[in-house]
Structure 1
Amino acid sequence: MNPYIAFLLYLVAILAFVGLTLGLNRLLGPKPVNNAIKLEAFESGVMPNERINVKGVSIKYYGVAILFILFDLETMFLFIWALGAKPMTGFLLFTFFLFLFLLVLSLLYVFKARLLEAVTE
């Protein structure tokens, strides 16, 4: 048997087992009952006597996280390419500089749009 077919059969068997287990758990497992008393905050056996007003937390840093992942992945691709590339001539050199140009262009856009400064405001 081809090793790829064996691996695919193994993967399908694992996914089927996980799906069957999750499905049976959902069908046969206990159903949670939500009521006002169970949803009430409880600490150290003392019931709260006043409602605490909690405001939502602003998460402006999500843009920084996305930018970090974007530039980190681009840097990883450059390192992998530098390790695996043969002597750079012609088309390889053109695509390398095109990739670097797009990387620098996106970095300039980030600074021009002041995306990193929005977090500190």
Structure 2
Amino acid sequence: MPRLPRLPAVLHLPAPPCFKVMNGQSEGWVLLHSPCLIRVHLCGVMSNGDLVDPINLLREKAQNSSKCRPFVEKLQACGERQPKTKESCEEEFIDLLECSDAIVASQIFKVLK
């Protein structure tokens, strides 16, 4: 299996039309992209009038829950030490996804129409 390229601790991506990237600890929505946390503010409706997927709000709430908070802290700690090591933070990222998805799975169909 080919090895995936190592991603930088901070990933700079062009923001989609409905997202506004926030710096530092400012308020916003936390979305996951590869093993990097990207803090964004959601506009609510995309420029073409489509509604935004509600799973992002549910994932944010799940990641801020007491059940998933230890996984967020482990991923953040890994991201801080990653530039000094050969660590990829993949395990921490997967653990956080599993935790948040378990919570989201029980709630997502309540908000879908």
TM-score after normalising by structure 2: 0.31
What is the TM-score when the length of structure 1 is the normalising length?
A: 0.30
Bigger CA radius of gyration: 1
Q: Which has the higher helix share?
A: 1
Which structure carries more relative contact order (alpha carbon 8 Å, separation 6+)? 1
